[in-house]
């Protein structure tokens, strides 16, 4: 059940923030309703009243984060397509930096969640939706650029898949391996190889 059905958004927003902090601080393996309750300074009973399980709470958190992502970029329609594209890729590289936790902590936890996704249909559907939201933002910016004549006539979907993959792969290399500087390398190479070609 959703907290919004019960007492408006305040408790829901509070629990989402606490869940985000808990996920960033402890990772997926040690994430629990008990820790979220402690982080929110609420009773375990309250958290259990709103969420049936750890997975239920994580699902709500993923939905919450994608709404946050969408609203962050909803106002960018007036920006040039290349700036919109850069802003989304910057987000993929360095993350939300929400509520006092840096993006690396979030993406490290997200990597753990993704490792469960092949075995968990519900989780995979949600993570896919979030991934598609990011890819679609990039594809939309590229499509606008092509339609406006600002970009070369590239395939928006394919180019978006490529760019998001490159930044996603570079970030995950840095967060899970000893590979400092890979994000900077990927972003610089994107300027060199893709944006220089893309922008006529």
Interface residues toward a second copy, by CB under 8 A: 27, 108, 111-112, 114-115, 117-119, 124-125, 127-128, 131, 154, 157-159, 161-162, 164-170, 172-173, 175-179, 181-182, 185-186, 188-190, 192-194, 197
| Least distance to a second copy, CB of residue 134, Å | 11
CB of 100 to a second copy, least distance (A): 20
* Residues 76 and 87 sit within 8 Å (Cβ to Cβ): yes
* Measured CA distances, 100 to 20, 66, 178 (Å): 10, 18, 25
Distance CA 77, CA 86 (A): 14
12 or 171: CB nearest a second copy: 171
Backbone angles phi, psi at 199, to 5 degrees: -85, 110
- From the CB of 106, what's the least distance to a second copy, in Å? 13
Residue 199 three-state SS: strand
- Choose between 17 and 81: whose C-beta lies nearer to a second copy: 81
Supply the minimum distance, in Å, between the C-beta of residue 56 and a second copy: 21
Q: DSSP alpha helices (H): ranges in the chain?
A: 4-7, 9-26, 33-40, 44-50, 54-73, 81-94, 103-116, 121-147, 156-176, 182-189, 196-198
Tell me how far, at minimum, the Cβ of 180 lies from a second copy, in Å.
11
In this structure, the dihedral spanned by the alpha carbons of residues 117, 123, 129 and 132, taken in order and rounded to 10 degrees, is -10
Query: Nearer to a second copy by C-beta: 15 or 187?
Result: 187
When the beta carbons of 49 and 162 are compared against a second copy, the nearer one is 162
Residue number, 12 or 183, with CB nearest to a second copy: 183
């Amino acid at each position: 059940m959703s907290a919004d059905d019960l007492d408006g958004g305040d408790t829901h927003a509070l629990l989402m923030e606490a869940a985000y902090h808990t996920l960033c601080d402890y990772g997926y393996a040690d994430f629990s309703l008990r820790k979220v309750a402690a982080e929110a300074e609420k009773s375990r009973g309250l958290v259990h009243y709103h969420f049936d399980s750890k997975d239920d709470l994580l699902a709500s958190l993923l939905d919450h984060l994608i709404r946050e992502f969408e609203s962050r970029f909803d106002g960018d329609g007036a920006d040039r397509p290349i700036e919109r594209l850069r802003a989304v890729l910057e987000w993929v590289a360095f993350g939300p930096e929400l509520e006092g936790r840096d993006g690396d902590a979030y993406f490290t936890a997200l990597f753990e969640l993704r490792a469960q996704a092949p075995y968990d249909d519900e989780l995979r559907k949600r993570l896919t939706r979030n991934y598609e939201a990011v890819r679609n933002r990039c594809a939309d910016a590229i499509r606008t650029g092509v339609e406006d004549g600002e970009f070369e006539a590239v395939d928006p979907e394919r180019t978006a898949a490529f760019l998001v993959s490159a930044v996603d792969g570079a970030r995950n290399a840095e967060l899970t391996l000893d590979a400092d500087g890979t994000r900077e390398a990927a972003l610089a190479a994107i300027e060199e190889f893709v944006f220089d070609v893309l922008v006529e």
